[in-house]
Structure 1
Amino acid sequence: MLATPAGPAGLPTGPGWSFEVKWDGFRAMARSERGRLRLDSRSGLELDDRFPALRDLAGVTADGTLLDGEVVALVDGVPSFEAVADTARHARAQLAYVVFDVPVHAGDDVCGAPLEERRDLLAGLDLPGCAIRSQVFADGPALLEVTRERGIEGVVAKRDSSPYRPGARSADWVKLAHRRTRTAVVGGWRPDATSSSRAASLLLGAHDADGSLRFLGRAGSGLSAALATRVAEALSAHPAAAPPFADALPATARKDARWCDPQVVVQVAYRERTTAGVLRHPVVMGLRDDVAADPWELA
């Protein structure tokens, strides 16, 4: 079940709504398969081998329980997407699985039960040390302010009576982030002037409803030396002879660019989109291979 982005009015308020932290990590469903933990991303990618520190969750899911949650890496108590995306940094971060729903409990499908009942079932589970129950708050505006002060991504409002709709985006869950984020494909890149094995900037794109690759802009901020090296390595595996974009690119974007098939997906944060659809002040947060890129039409 996916949350709907909040509109201009912000988060819903009033009776029947409660609020949780919006975590900055990898969304994953946890279940058991042949006695071992199975973590699946939204796109169906198996994540369990990537996060062996979470294997104790198998004891919770062994009876047929299915958990919905987020794999997060806490650095000084604050979720870090860069840390959870970079397996080499897990040793320096506290890896955890934040559980916020239980669509199947002990083999029983409880998707039709109201959220408040599923939360009661979740509260009764004996979770291992690698798992954290998502806390529930009554005051959305206060939680929004606290998350802003602490550098946490945002807040999700949830209707207490809502059923669980697998794979669907529902207005019963509404998310509000302090900064906008999205996934994008890379259609070209510029190597670093001092080392061609590192990317200095990326040309971002998204496919529209017709399947055409549209230009989202160029991003260079956020590319640390380690991330720039990993991105360049990934992009070098998909070279292209010509720009894959349907749009005419500005000369500044084309200069010194290396083209690639739009196979590599990155997560970016940005302030807003222009009327032409270009991202303002995009920052590269990390590589994503667990989800597909967001469509062009996503605001």
Structure 2
Amino acid sequence: MATGEALRSAPVKPRRGAAKPDLFADPMPARIEPCLALLQSKAPTGPNWAFEVKWDGYRLAVHRDASGVRIITRGGHDWTHRFPSIAAEAAELDAGSFILDGEAVVLDEAGRADFGLLQQALGGRGGKAKAERAMLFAFDLLYLDGHDLTRMALSERRDMLEGLLDGEIGMIRLSEEVEADGAEFLASACKVGLEGIIAKRRDAPYRPGRGGDWLKIKCIQSDTFLIIGYEPSSAALGGIGRLLLAGLGNYGLAFVGSVGTGFTHASAAALRKQLDRLATASPAARGIAGRGVVWVRPNLAAEIAYRGWTHDDKLRHASFKGLRDKADAAGVYRLA
């Protein structure tokens, strides 16, 4: 995207694996809880903010040490076997040990990350397929050759990440920082159909959770909701007229409306088979009734794009993007 030149300063030369043991080395952690982006309505301003594209995929940590490569999902599951192309390229990077933080995506014909295509590549929710087409956009480096980098500022970690990847254009690529005004970058991202942008404090260490060091600003809102039922339809793709959705309320699940677009025939047919196995006699959310609805246990979480909320807390212009896997650990939307 030509919204600005990538930020590039002289990379701090990463220290490569030494032949002698390093008595001052930091132990390589088995897992680091991820830093998460806090949702904001507007892009921040000021020179201390760095901006990147918001990728629409699965958050992964890629670990490499003497024993090999491990790819860990946000939920802590080992999915090395699910992303063989990323694992193979990680094994070839020029470092003794590292932990990359990034997003696995599958790109559409226009070069945009498509969550639905990634889900198809993985075989759907609970699938066992290997996503050969998935690539990793790496945006942080947390550990390198015996050294914990999480205490360093983002700008320093990014320098070392650039040095490690050194122009890679294969299945592991650098998520470029964009030198631009945040509001202008967001407008450009929205214009070309991206999900949104990420803003990060350049001087912040890597801190787990949603502390505000990282912000996400979306073009189209997208959140995770539970499926609590569906309306059968002989005329609709896969036999699903619409899905009924719920979020987390103060007293259990709360009905948030329905979605009837975004399916393909294959995705709807596969989804209906899963839903029919979860059929139950009554709705899981309070205050909802419907004739001809097949109620289901709220075991399936769907990623839904939408344009906003109605006055009675229902989704506006919702579209189905795909099912979230438990290993992805995406949080179900909580109503305020």
TM-score (norm 2): 0.79
**More strand, by proportion:** 1
- How far the C-alpha of 1:23 sits from its partner, in A, is 0.9
State the match for 1:78 in structure 2: 112
Q: Alignment partner of 2:106: what SS?
A: strand
Gaps of 5+ in 2: 1-34, 124-128
Q: Is the 8 A contact 2:65 2:97 kept in 1?
A: no
2:81 corresponding residue in structure 1: 49
Partners of 1:249 and 1:34 lie apart in 2 by: 55
SS in 1 for 2:266: helix
Which residue, out of 201, 211, 218, partners 1:159?
Answer: 201
SS at match of 1:241: coil
What residue in structure 1 maps to residue 53 of structure 2? 21
1:243 corresponds to: 283
Unaligned runs of 5+ residues in structure 1 are none
C-alpha distance in 2 between matches for 1:24 and 1:133: 15
Question: Alpha-carbon deviation of 1:91?
Answer: 10
Deviations for 1:169-221, whole angstroms, at most 9, x for unmatched residues? 021211111000001111111223158964231111122354x1111111111
In the TM superposition, what is the alpha-carbon distance from 1:65 to its structure 2 partner? Answer: 1.1
Distance 2:278 2:307 in 1: 29
Matching residue within 176, 179, 183 for 1:141: 183
Aligned length: 290
Find the aligned partners of 1:45 and 1:232 in 2 and give their Cα distance.
27
Match of 2:146 in 1: 107
What is residue 20 of structure 2 aligned with on the other side? none
Query: Structure 2 CA distance, aligned partners of 1:4 and 1:189?
Result: 31
Aligned to 2:309: 273
User: Which is worse superposed, 55-64 or 85-94?
Assistant: 85-94
- Aligned residue for 2:215, secondary structure, equals strand
**Deviations, residues 266-289 of structure 1 (Å, cap 9, x unaligned):** 100001122432111110001110
Name 1:258's counterpart in structure 2.
294
Is this contact kept in 2: 1:189–1:201, CA < 8 A?
yes
Whole-angstrom CA distance in 2 between matches of 1:61 and 1:97: 17
Instruction: Indicate the residue corresponding to 2:270 in structure 1.
Output: 230
User: Equivalent residue for 2:218?
Assistant: 177
- Tell me if the contact between 1:19 and 1:158 (Cα under 8 Å) persists in the aligned partners: yes
In the aligned structure 1, how far is the partner of 2:276 from the partner of 2:78?
24
Deviates more, 1:278-287 or 1:289-298: 289-298
Give the structure-1-normalised TM-score. 0.88
One-letter amino acid of the structure 2 residue matched with residue 83 of structure 1? L
Q: Which moved more, 1:149-158 or 1:124-133?
A: 124-133
1:46/1:92 Cα in 2 relative to 1: closer, same or farther (>3 Å)?
closer
- Tell me if the contact between 2:141 and 2:161 (Cα under 8 Å) persists in the aligned partners: yes
Cα distance between partner residues in 2 of 1:34 and 1:184: 40
Contact 2:223-2:333 at 8 Å conserved across structures = no
Change in 2 beyond 3 A, CA 1:4/1:119: same
With over 3 angstroms needed to count, the CA separation of the structure-2 counterparts of 1:209 and 1:33, relative to structure 1, is: farther
Q: Whole-Å Cα distance in 2 between the matches of residues 256 and 34 of structure 1? A: 58
Distance 2:194 2:255 in 1: 29
For the 8 Å contact 1:214–1:296, the answer to whether it is kept is no
CA separation of 1:88 and 1:64: change in aligned 2, threshold 3 A: closer
**Residues 12/258 of structure 1: CA separation in 2 closer, same or farther (3 Å cut):** same
Question: Among the aligned pairs, what percent are the same residue?
Answer: 32
Asked if the contact 2:141/2:157 (under 8 Å) is kept, the reply is yes
Summarize deviations over 1:73-117 as a string: whole Å, max 9, x none: 111212111111111799999531000011222232211110000
One-letter amino acid matched to 2:315: L
The answer on whether the counterparts of 1:265 and 1:293 sit within 8 Å (CA) in structure 2 is no
CA distance in 2, matches of 1:229, 1:115: 45
